[in-house]
Amino acid sequence: MRNLVILGAGTGGTVMASHLRKRLPRGEWAVTVVDRDNEHYYQPGFLFIPFGFLRKKDIVKPRSKFLPKETEFIQAEIDRIVPASNEVVLRDGRTVPYDYLIVATGAEIVPAETPGMLDGWGDTIFDFYTADGAEALAAKLKTFSGGTLVVHVNETPIKCPVAPLEFAFFCDACLRRHGKRDKVDIVYVTPLPGAFTKPVAAAALGALLEKKRIRMVADFNAERIDASARKIIGYDGREVPYDLLVTVPTNMGAEMIERSGMGDEFRFLPTDPRTLRSKKHENIFALGDATDVPASKAGSVVHFQSEILTENILRAIDGRPLEPAFDGHANCFIEMGRGKAILIDFNYETEPLPGRFPFRVFGPLPLLKPSRLNHWGKLAFRGIYWRLLLRGRRIPFVPSRMKMTGKKRPAAAPGA
C-alpha cells in the first residue's frame, strides 16, 4: 500500500481528497488527511457575522462529512514534516509516513507581529478573519455609538484581499440603513498605493470608496499601535487615530511549516507557481493559502489549482513530466452592501478588467461594476462551496484557466 497524505482539511485539503480518492486505485493507495479539529468553517461567511447577517453556527460543518469514504481522517495537531524520512510527526508523537504529501495548511492571522496590537485586542481592536473574532466584533458594533472606525490592512499578502474593502462597504451600507452614517467616519488604511494591487481595479474601487465617503490612507505601513492613545503609528511617522479599529493583521502560513524549516519569511511554502510542486522536494505539493505563489489567497483559486494539481500528482506518480498549467486564475465577488456586488476575474498576467463575464445560467455577469446579479452570485457561492467545490465537482461555466472573452481593456491601461 502506498500513502498519499494531505495536511489540512480546509478548502484545499478536502477538495484534493475528493479528487484523488476517485483517481487513485483503492487497493494500492491509502489517502490520509490530518487536521487539528473537526470544524470546517466557510470562511467567506466571516464577513457577514459582524453585521448580524450570519452566525457562527450557520457556516460550520464537520470536516469529516466532506471527506470521501475510504479516506482516513486523523484529528491531531501536526508538529512538523520531516522530508528527509518522508514522514509527518504529530504533536502526540505519532508519525505518518507518506509517498506523496500535499500541504494545505492555509494561512492565519498573527496580530502579535505588530507591537501593541494585542494590547487593545477585544476592547477597541477587532478582527473578522476568525469565527470568534467576527462574533466579538458583532457584539461591539451593536454598541458602537459613533466616532472614527478604521478598517486596516497591516501587511500584504492577505487571504481574500478584497474582504477588508467589502467590510468597509458593508459598514457604510449598514450605518446608512440605520440613519447613523453621519455619526461615523470610516477610514480605510492600506499598505498598498491604492484600493487594490492592480491599476484598473484600484481606480474603479478607489472611486467607489470616495463615492461612499470612505477616506483612504494609502502606502501606510504600521510600525506599532498605541492602544491606550488609540492610534496606529506608521514607519514614516504618520499617525491614524481610531475609536474602533477593525484590522486584518499580518497573515502567515501555519507555524508547522516554520517548525519544519520549510517556510519563507511569511511561513509560506516555496512552491512552483505553475506546477504547484514544492521547489525543494519532488514528492511534496501544495495548494491554497499555504503556498508562496503570487496568486490571490482565495477559495476560487484553490478550486482552480485543485484540478491542475490532481493531474500533476498523477503525472508525478506515473513518472511523466508535470504540466505547468496553473495561470494564477482568481474569480472573486466583492460585496458592496444594499444587495449589490462586483465581480473580478484575473490571473498572473491579466489584471481585473471591466466588461462582462460569460455565464450562461442567468446571462453575463458585469465585471468590475456593482450589480444585483453579482450579489446573488456571491450568495450562491456558499451552496456551491459545500455542494460542489469541496466535493471536487465542476463549477458550471467557470474554467480553471482564465478566458479573455467579454473583457475590455480601457484605452489608458498599460498592457498586460
Ligand X SMILES: Cc1cc2nc3c(=O)[nH]c(=O)nc-3n(C[C@H](O)[C@H](O)[C@H](O)COP(=O)(O)OP(=O)(O)OC[C@H]3O[C@@H](n4cnc5c(N)ncnc54)[C@H](O)[C@@H]3O)c2cc1C
Binding site for another protein (CB under 8 A): 155-157, 161, 192, 196-198, 219, 221, 223, 235-236, 264-266, 294-296, 330, 346, 414
Minimum distance from residue 183 beta carbon to another protein (Å): 34
Q: Assess 276 for contact with ligand X (CB under 6 A).
A: no
First-to-last C-alpha distance (Å) of the chain: 47
**C-beta of 160: minimal distance to another protein in Å?**
11
Q: Is 193 exposed, middle or buried (0-12, 13-18, 19+ CB in 10 A)?
A: exposed
Residue 271's binding partner out of ligand X, another protein, none, with CB under 5 to 8 Å set by partner kind: none
Can you state the angle between helices 199-211 and 163-177, rounded to 10 degrees?
20
- Any residues with CB less than 8 A from the CB of 318 and at least 6 apart, and which? none
- Helix-strand-coil split of the chain, %, nearest 5: 30, 30, 40
Identity of the residue, 29 or 385, whose beta carbon is nearer to ligand X in the bound complex: 385
Decide: helix, strand or coil at residue 316.
helix
Q: Does 51 sit near ligand X (CB under 6 A)?
A: no
CB of 120 to ligand X, least distance (A): 20
137, with CB counted inside 10 A (0-12, 13-18, 19+), is: buried
* 190 Rama class: left (phi>0) / alpha (psi -120 to 50) / beta: beta
Q: Alpha-carbon torsion 387, 390, 393, 399, what sign? A: positive
Binds 46, which of another protein, ligand X, none (CB < 5 to 8 A, cut-off by type)? ligand X
To the nearest 10 degrees (0 to 180), the angle between helices 11-23 and 299-318 is 40
Of the candidate residues 159, 231, 329, 375, the single one contacting ligand X (CB under 6 A): 159
Contact range with ligand X by CB under 6 A, out of 64-72, 228-236, 282-290, 358-366:
282-290
Total of residues contacting ligand X (CB under 6 A): 34
Q: Which stretch binds ligand X (CB under 6 A): 99-107, 110-118, 173-181, 198-206?
A: 99-107
**Which range touches ligand X (CB under 6 A), out of 104-112, 340-348, 354-362, 367-375?**
104-112
Closest CA to 262 of 230, 291, 227, 225: 291
Region of 188-196, 204-212, 213-221, 294-302 interacting with ligand X (CB under 6 A): 294-302
Q: Which positions lie near ligand X, rule CB under 6 A?
A: 8-13, 34-36, 43-44, 46-47, 77-78, 104-106, 128-129, 159-160, 163, 254, 256, 288-290, 297-300, 302, 332
